[in-house]
Structure formats: C-alpha cells, structure tokens
Chain A
Amino acid sequence: MSVLKPRDAKETAEAVAWAAAEGASLEVVAGGTKRALGRPMKTDHVLDVSQLEGIVAYEPAELVLTARPGEKLASIAAELDKNRQVLSFEPPDWRALLGARGEATLGGLIACNLAGSRRVRAGSARDYVLGFSAVNGFGDIWKAGGKVVKNVTGYDMGKLQAGAYGTLSALTELTLKVMPKPETACTLVLHGLADEVAIQTLAKALNSPFEVSGAAHLPPSAARRSKAGAVAAGSGAATALRLEGPLPSVAYRADALEKLVGRGARLNETETQVFWSEVGAVQPLLEQGLRVVWRLCPTPSMSPSVAHSIRGALPSAEFYFDWGGGLIWLSLDAEQAGADAGARIVRRAPKSGHATLIAAPEALRATVPVFEPLSAAVAELTARVKKGFDPRGILNPGRMYQGL
C-alpha cells in the first residue's frame, strides 16, 4: 500500500487515473479526523489530498471564499473572522466524539456535509457550496457550479458532492458562500421541562418571528455535563434557545421570546459560545465508558416519542435534542446495545427520517449498516449515480454502503 500525496489537481487526476487503470482502490483523506466516520474500508492505497491546501480567493464583499480541500478549517475560520464573517452552518467539531486527533479540513467537512446547531435556521454545509472542482473515478478533472452566490447553471452537483463521503469524486477546490458573523448572541435557558413539552416549546419559538438560531433540549443527565454554568446549575433538564444579531435586536427579541415561552436564565455571549460548541461536539454524551453513539434525524415533533421508545427497550440510552427536535444524539451502553449496536431498535423507532451510527468500534461499523438502509428504488438510483462518477468503484469503496 502506498500513500499518494498529490500537490495539485493535475497530480490528483494522475493518481486516480493510475489507480483506475490498475483497478486499485483509494481512500481519500486530508486531515484524517473523520476516518472513523462511516464504514471501515480496506483500500489498496491512500490518496492524501492534504497538500492541496490554501485559500485561493476570498472576497468578503462578495460573500465568496474559494479554498482547496486540504485547507484547515481553523485557518479558514481565522481568515473569515478578520472580516467578521463565518461559515454560517456552524461546522461542528467531532474530534472527541470520533476519538480523532489533528486538524479538520474543508474537504472532509463538505464531504460529510456536517452542520451545527444553526442548521435549524441557516441550513447545512450543502446549502453553502457554490461550486467546486474534483476528480472523478475516470481520472477526469471536472467542475460544477460557479464562484458567485446565485447560480442555477447546470445540475446542482455541489449538493450531491456534499455528503457523498468522497465516494463520487475527490475534491480539489471548493467555493463557498460565507456570511457575516452575528454581532452578538445570547441564549435563553428554560429549566425542568419534560421532553415533550420542551420540543413543543422549541417549535413554538422557531415559529415565532424572533429568529431563533439554535434550539436544543438537554434532559437532566446531559444538562448536568455542560460546562456552561447556567445550563448545569438548573439540576434538571435545560431547554436552550439562541438569538443572534445586532445588539438592540437581540436584547429586544430575548425579552419578547421570554414573554412567549416563559422566564429563564440567560447565557451571555461567551457562555453562549461555550454551550453551543458543546452541543455541536456532542460533549454532553461523551466520556462515559464503552458506548456507541447514534445520530437520528426523525420528524422533529416525533423526537421525544422516538427517544423514549428506544430508552424503553435499551435503558442505558442517554440522549439530547438539537435542531428543534430534528436531531437526536443518542448514546447507548455498548454491551447492552449488543452485536447490532442497537440498530434494530434504533431504526425501528422513528416512522420517518434516518439514523446513522456515528461512533462505534470498527468491527461494529463493518457489520452494522452505518447509514440508514435505502428503499429499493433509492438504492438502485444510488448505485447508478455512483457508477456514473466512479464506474470501477475505486474512490472510497464501501464507505457508505457495502459494495458501492
């Protein structure tokens, strides 16, 4: 096995073309912080694109940033911050969750389509991909989209590329829409709500005109582990609503929201930062011995009943809710979850949506379908799409589905 380290798009294409000719499979990797995400692979070689780095262009007034996939997220964030801008979808830091070290890169973030709590208002990584270039399994460099914020020329390939876990093409350059950083932020925390009431409260807040940009509910055990004082201090469940924007607006909306949902504690800007970083990083469920962690996206209003039915069958279940109930983070005792990591129970609980096995030992991720099994019609389309990008199946084979 060798590690191929191309320095530019052309060398990336040469490496893939060579692998295609040899019929050799490639693991596409840059920072490597998400290697434990998805199904484990045994590839012939590693395509390390970490040297495809650098910010190619950044025009704050155009809200457009172009960078290479190996560029570290931290350096992109720092550059954006100089102009008081951000990646609006709030990239979460899953390193602790996945037991990874090192620096996350832009390519991995987009390939896995990750987003933090602001997703409920701002959308996900896929919503900010304006254009990209990449190398497909034919070894061709190709591009799609553009470098302006509004574009419908041709199919929206960026959506497909985001969340494909590197199975369709290896990215060589990305153009993203960036947004202004909110001037300030605060969080309203309500204590002691039962899960059902809490999710209804979050929905009420999200349907209010007060522009809630984070809506999470932590049952008591998860709330206790928060480092944000006012969240842990309540000694019970914590239901959190974030407001961001210009100072006078946030102050007004916080009062108005409190009138709507009831009085609570307030986190200031720094505490707000600490708390929502924790929520994005799944910190409230970490460091509890041998556990497996699932990420469920059910119909938001159904999330309490989904979580409770899982806990009914697997009493070790701990969980919390983000995205107004649209996201459940679920941790199970590994032993109790058993040989299928709890998949049978976890996947039966929601009537719609999907569940992904995020953190689990490699052996489990090799046998339990990590991604929600697809309907026959969608599976067929997925296989055909994969074939259209990578007919020999050399790019991250099996990362999402066995045999693909």
Chain B
Amino acid sequence: MIAMPEPDRGVLERRAEIVEGLRRLVPGEGVIDRERELRAFECDGLTAYRQPPMVAVLPETTAQVQEVMRYCAANRIKVVPRGAGTSLSGGALPLADGVLLGMGKFNRILEIDPANRCVVTQPGVTNLGITHAVQGLGLYYAPDPSSQIACTIGGNVAENSGGVHCLKYGLTTNNVIGVEMVTIEGEIVRLGGKHFDSEGLDLLGAVVGSEGMLGVVTEVTVRILPKPPGARALLIGFATVEGAGDCVAGVIGAGIIPGGMEIMDRPAVAAAEAFVHAGYPLDCEALMIVELDGCEAEVDHLIAAVEAIADRHGATSRRASQSEEERLLFWAGRKAAFPAVGRISPDYYCMDGTIPRREIGRVLQQMKQMEARFGLRCANVFHAGDGNLHPLVLYDANKPGELDKAEAFGAEILRLCVEVGGVLTGEHGVGVEKRDLMDTMFNEADLNQQQRLKCAFDADGLLNPGKVFPQLCRCAELGRMHVHSGRLAFPDLPRF
C-alpha cells in the first residue's frame, strides 16, 4: 500500500474549531463532520484505498469556494477537491487532516452557445449531461470516459480524461477552452473562454490534467461538436494479438483514423460475451472493434477499406454492423468489459499504461509470464488506436496478501510499459496509485520542474498533497539556484 502524508496533529487537534470556522462560510448542511456521513467520501473509484476526511465541505457558490480556500490557506489546512469520485487512480482520496471539497452542488449548465460552438457549465455537471443538453441541436461533447454517466466535467478537467474516441477527437484538454478556478489563496482566475488560443502562457493547458493540485475549477467552457451523421462498426477476430496489432498499424498506415478502435484478448472476450451476449466470436485470441463515423458515403467507403486491410492481416472472422442496434450491441460487450470481469473475479485492479503499438506482442507475452509468476489472472482490453492498455488484474481482496500481489503485478506491468517506450497512464491519471512509479519515467530534474510549476500555484503544498509526486519538495529549496560562478563546466562550446 502507498503511504499518504503523515496527518498534521496540530490541525487534527483544532478539528472542532475548524468545523465551526467552515460552518460560518458554508451554512447549513454544507459542512459534514459526522463520522458516519464522512464515510460516503472515504474513497473514489480506487476502492483499495480508503480514508475518511477530517471534514467535508459542499459549497454552492464560487464565493464560498473562495472563502473556504482562503480559510484553509490561512490555517494551513489541506484541501482535496472531489467531483463524482469516479477517479480510478485515487485522485480524490481524502486526507485524515484535510478538507474534502465536494463540488457536486455546482450542477448547472450555465449557457449553451451554438453560435460559438461551446457550452459554459458548472464543474459538477456530468460528462454525459453536457451531451444531453445539446443533442437536440445535433451537437455533443466528444471525450467519453467509460464513467461518463457519472463522472463530472470538473473531474474530467482535473484528470484530463479520455475515452474510446480520443484518437480522433482528443482528450479533455483538446476540448476544454476555458475555466474559472479558485487558487488556494482564494484568487478567482479566468483562463481561456469562448475564444481561441491563450492570450499569454497557456496556463489553462497546464491546469487541465493537474489532478486537482493547482486550483479548484468552478466553471468550465467546453467545445461541442456536430454529431457524426452515422457510424458503423466492424467486429474482427484474429488468431493472435500481434495479428490484431498489425492490423491496427495497417489501418492507420492507410491514412484512416477510426472513431474508435479497440482490442480485447480472449479472457476479456469470454467474460464480456458471457455477460452481454453481444455475439462475439469465441474462437479468436483477439477481437478488434473498429468504428468508422461520418457521412454515409465516407463510412461505407472506409468500412470496405478496413475490411480489405483486415483480410490482408489474416482476420479469422469479420462482421460489419448492419443497423444502429447491431453497432450498439458490438459496443455493449466492450463497454461492459469491466463489470463482466467483475463477475468472474471478486475484485479486479484496472491498469492504464500506454505503449507504442508495435510492442503489443512483446508486452502481452511478458504479461502472460507475470500471470504465472504472480499466480493471478489478467484480462486485457486495449484502446488499440492509441496504444492505451487496460489490463485487469483479477484478485480476491478477502484472501490475505492478494491485494498486495495484484498491486505488485500492476506495478510490474506499468514498469514494462515504460521500458518499451510507453508511459504509466494514458487517461486515468497518476493520483495515489502510480505516484511511487513516477521515477520510472522521470528523473529528479523532470520532477523538480513539475513541482516548481506546482509551487507557482500552491507554494505551501496544501492542494491535494500526496498525489502525483513521490515526495513533495519544499518550494524554497526547489527555487534555489545551485550555481557557482567560475566553477562551471563550460568546455569547447562553439562561440562566434
């Protein structure tokens, strides 16, 4: 288990006074301090980690957020922001000595502006809620994490969430054009807006994906897109996962960027088929789902092109959806893959590394060996278009030591991803979960520079500490320059 920062005794001793102080800022039921009720916030989607917060605050206005932040900064109290609590990396894991700032009451869409192709919304609105608000206009919000029915846009901003359509439509960062946020000092900052490009440094770009460590977002402006007029999906079976991987490379090499391109391995296919009865072929080692979207002329043209590529890459079976119902059925199995795996194992641990796609064969091979070594099974679903792997390590938390084994297995998978040229997380975020693996990707200089950015926003490290960075350095130390004039190595650099 990964250790969280030691609670500040001084803060814990002042708990009653702090609760009272916060009640003056957020009246009524907006401050929760009863132990039983705090349990509701003790974990997010990474359920292996649980910690009730010292107190939960549910503000309703930006002014309240501002006052809470000012109060916490003045009293050196840590703040953990939370949306719907669906993070899979522990991004919203509370701290024993921290305020849990729940943004759920910011649940209104403020403006739908089709002329400027954007929606201005409060952060507690769900991802799917935005699409629902604009679908009557033929528009939608593109990033679609699997949790989109529940996860909030504020959480999406914090985590830079992805989804199955990111290769073509981008992640959250490519679809968010403005935020209003409150810094830990209680300053209200507007970054971006309905216009294009940043007026100065792209601070918005740095805030998206900063895992709640730079500020609390109180308003979001997102780009909305016209809904593609149609889509069809292909189900393609392969005798090997490598074959499926090669086919993906073939599709992209042919200049085709599908709306979605997924691979599931045999265990994942079996679990999904047993659960959803999507009609998946059970005699293949890898099943690929490719979705082409656009106008009918384009979709039909590309379906034929992808079919030809699949045949060239030795597809053992293929089927194109003939109706919208059938297309949705093809997806139903994939979208239910996690719960489907949940039926065959008491618990599962979902990983999120990205690899260069050419390495898929080697990575899956080595994962097979790890399964034997750790004595745990693993099912794989894979955003194949962008190389984002979701290995699901199956374990039973009630068996002593299995969680530790699953975590060790997961860590080894992620180390392997980095070793083959990939990264620790494609879309779930670092959070608590991958924090202590950061040094497999980044050296001290890299991490120091990231932390200096953190220092610019939050010099006292009060916002969501214990996440992302293996160890928090003091800002004063990070800002110091260690140069000694005259003693610097400066050899034969060409000078003109």
Contact of A17 (CB < 8 Å), options: B209, B253, B490: B490
| Residue of B197, B298, B301 most packed against chain A (CB within 10 A) | B197
Contact A377 B187, CB 8 Å, known A119-B196, A246-B302, A248-B298: yes
Q: Determine if A236 is an interface residue (Cβ-Cβ < 8 Å).
A: no
Min Cβ gap A265→B in Å is 22
Q: Which of B417-454 contact A (CB under 8 A)?
A: 421-430, 434, 438, 441-442, 445-450, 452-454
Interface: B190 (CB within 8 A): yes
Closest Cβ–Cβ distance, residue B309 to chain A (whole Å): 12
Cβ A160 vs Cβ B201 within 8 A = yes
Q: Is B194 an interface residue (CB 8 A)?
A: yes
Nearest Cβ on chain B to A255's Cβ, whole angstroms = 10
Contact of A151 among B189, B194, B204, B426 (CB under 8 A): B426
Known: A146-B354, A246-B302, A388-B452. A207 touches B166 (CB 8 A): no
Query: In the complex the two chains form, is B199's CB within 8 Å of A354's CB?
Result: yes
- Is A348 among interface residues, defined by CB-CB distance under 8 A? no
Q: Whole-angstrom distance from the CB of A92 to the nearest CB of chain B?
A: 13
Q: Known contacts A206-B117, A300-B115: does B442 contact A154 (CB below 8 Å)?
A: yes
State the majority secondary structure of interface residues on A. Answer: mixed
Q: Determine whether the beta carbon of A124 is less than 8 Å from that of B197.
A: yes
Complex contact A3–B495 (CB within 8 A): yes
User: A256 vs B301: C-alpha distance in the bound complex, in angstroms?
Assistant: 17
Interface flags, A1-24, vs B, CB<8A=1, else 0:
011111100010011011011100
Query: Given the complex, which residues of B lie within 8 Å of A371, measured CB to CB?
Result: 199-200
Residue of B nearest to A383 (CB): B456
Mark out the residues of chain B between 237 and 254 whose CB falls within 8 Å of any chain A CB in the assembled complex: 249-250, 252-253
CA distance A151 to B352 in the complex (A): 10
Q: Known contacts A142-B445, A152-B428, A156-B209; is A209 also within 8 Å of B229 by CB?
A: yes
A residues less than 8 Å from B262 (CB atoms): none
Is B199 in contact with A377, judged by CB distance below 8 angstroms?
Answer: no
Residues of B within 8 A of A150 (CB): 162, 166-167, 171, 354, 383, 386-388, 426-427
Partner of A299, one of B193, B421, B438: B193
Contact B297 A251 (CB under 8 A): yes
A147's nearest neighbour on chain B, judged by CB, is B421
Tell me whether A139 and B450 are in contact in the complex, defined as CB-CB below 8 angstroms, given that A61-B357, A203-B114 are known contacts.
no
Q: Report chain A residues within 8 Å CB of B173.
A: 127, 156, 159
Q: Are A354 and B117 in contact (CB under 8 A)?
A: no
Q: Say yes or no: B442 contacts A381, CB within 8 Å.
A: no
Question: In the complex, which residues of chain A have a beta carbon less than 8 angstroms from the beta carbon of B190?
Answer: 375, 378
Residues of A within 8 A of B208 (CB): 156, 159
- 1/0 per residue, CB under 8 A from A, across B17-61: the answer is 000000000000000000000000000000000000000000000
| B180-224 contacts to A (CB < 8 Å) | 183, 187-191, 193-206, 208-210
Residues of chain B lying within 8 A (CB to CB) of residue A119: 196
Query: Distance in Å from the Cβ of B479 to the closest Cβ of chain A?
Result: 6
Task: Write the nearest CB–CB distance from A262 to chain B, whole angstroms.
Answer: 19
Tell which of A20, A84, A138, A386 has the most Cβ of chain B within 10 Å.
A138
Identify which of A179-187, A222-230, A268-276, A279-287 touches chain B: A179-187
Taking a contact as CB atoms under 8 Å apart, the answer to whether B493 and A15 are in contact is yes
Residues of A within 8 A of B339 (CB): none
B468 contacts A385, C-beta separation under 8 Å: no
Contacts of B195 in A (CB 8 A): 297-300, 326, 352-354
Which residues of the other chain, B, contact A354 by a CB distance below 8 angstroms? 195, 197, 199
Q: Which residues of chain A from 350 to 379 have any CB-CB distance to chain B below 8 Å in the complex?
A: 352-354, 356, 371-372, 374-375, 377-378
B446–A144 touching, CB < 8 Å: yes
- Is A392 on the interface with B (CB-CB < 8 A)? yes
A42 at the interface (CB under 8 A from B): no
* A389 and B423 form a contact (CB under 8 A): no
CB distance from B372 to the nearest CB of A (A): 27
Do A323 and B196 touch (CB < 8 A)? yes
Query: A61-B253, A152-B426 are known contacts. Are A385 and B197 too (CB-CB below 8 A)?
Result: no
Q: Indicate if the CB atoms of B228 and A209 lie closer than 8 Å.
A: yes
A384 and B386 contact, Cβ closer than 8 Å, known pairs A151-B426, A156-B205, A374-B200 = no
Set A148, A159, A356, A389: member contacting B452, Cβ < 8 A: A389
B483 and A17 form a contact (CB under 8 A): yes
**What are the interface flags for A339-357 relative to B under an 8 Å C-beta threshold, 1 for contact and 0 otherwise?**
0000000000000111010
Q: Answer whether A154 and B383 are a contact pair too, CB < 8 Å, given A21-B485, A141-B445, A381-B456.
A: no
Tell me which of B199, B201, B250 has the highest count of chain A C-beta atoms within 10 A of its own C-beta. B201
Q: Is A149 an interface residue (CB 8 A)?
A: yes
Query: Is the CB–CB distance between A353 and B253 below 8 Å?
Result: no
Within 8 Å CB of A127, what residues of B?
170, 173-174
Whether B387 contacts A148 by the Cβ 8 Å rule is yes
Instruction: Give the CA-CA distance A18 to B491 in the complex, in Å.
Output: 10
Instruction: Output the least CB separation between A217 and chain B (Å).
Output: 15
Pick from A139, A151, A155, A211: contact of B483, CB below 8 A.
Answer: A139
| Distance between Cα atoms of A19 and B294 in the complex (Å) | 54
Residues of A within 8 A of B453 (CB): 155, 157, 160, 385, 388
- Given contacts A59-B358, A152-B160, whether A392 and B481 have CB atoms under 8 Å apart is yes
Nearest A residue to B89 via CB reads: A152
A154 is contacted by which of B139, B253, B428, B450 (Cβ under 8 Å)?
A: B450
* In the complex, chain B residues whose CB is within 8 Å of the CB of A374: 199-200
Q: Is B488 an interface residue (CB 8 A)?
A: yes
For window 83-142 of A, CB contacts with B under 8 Å fall at 83-85, 113, 119-120, 123-124, 126-127, 136, 138-142
Contact of B193 with A248 in the complex, beta carbons under 8 Å: no
Q: Contact at B194–A179, with CB atoms within 8 Å?
A: no
Shortest distance from the beta carbon of B231 to any chain A beta carbon, whole Å: 11
Nearest A-chain residue to B113, judged by Cβ: A301
Known A-B contacts A3-B496, A297-B195; A59 and B356 likewise in contact (beta carbons under 8 Å)? yes
Give B230's nearest chain A residue, CB to CB.
A209
**Among A146, A251, A386, A389, which residue has its beta carbon within 8 angstroms of that of B422?**
A146
Q: Considering the chains assembled together, what is the distance between the CA atoms of A251 and B117 in angstroms?
A: 25
Nearest Cβ on chain B to A252's Cβ, whole angstroms: 4
- Chain A, Cβ-Cβ closest to B252: A61
**In the complex, what residue of chain B is closest to A123 when comparing beta carbons?**
B174
Query: Does any Cβ of A come within 8 Å of B1's Cβ?
Result: no
With contacts A136-B449, A301-B115, A388-B479 taken as known, whether A17 is within 8 angstroms of B200 at the C-beta atoms is no
CB < 8 Å: which of A375, A377, A389 contacts B449? Answer: A389
Q: Which residues of A contact B194 (CB under 8 A)?
A: 299-300, 352-353
Smallest CB separation, A129 vs chain B (Å) = 9
Of the residues A21, A252, A375, A384, contact of B298 by C-beta under 8 Å: A252
Jot down 25 A-B pairs with beta carbons below 8 A, ordered by A.
A5-B496, A14-B491, A21-B486, A62-B249, A64-B356, A120-B196, A124-B196, A127-B174, A139-B483, A149-B387, A150-B166, A152-B425, A154-B447, A154-B468, A155-B210, A156-B209, A159-B204, A163-B197, A163-B202, A252-B295, A253-B295, A299-B193, A301-B116, A326-B196, A378-B190
5 more CB-based (< 8 A) A-B contacts, given A352-B194, A380-B187, A401-B200:
A15-B490, A61-B252, A158-B205, A249-B298, A372-B200
Top 4 closest A-B pairs, CB basis?
A: A159-B205, A249-B298, A180-B255, A353-B195
Q: Which B positions have Cβ atoms within 8 angstroms of A?
A: 113-117, 137-139, 159-160, 162, 166-167, 170-171, 173-174, 183, 187-191, 193-206, 208-210, 226-229, 249-250, 252-253, 255-257, 294-298, 301-302, 354-358, 383, 386-388, 421-430, 434, 438, 441-442, 445-450, 452-457, 468, 478-479, 481-486, 488-491, 493-496
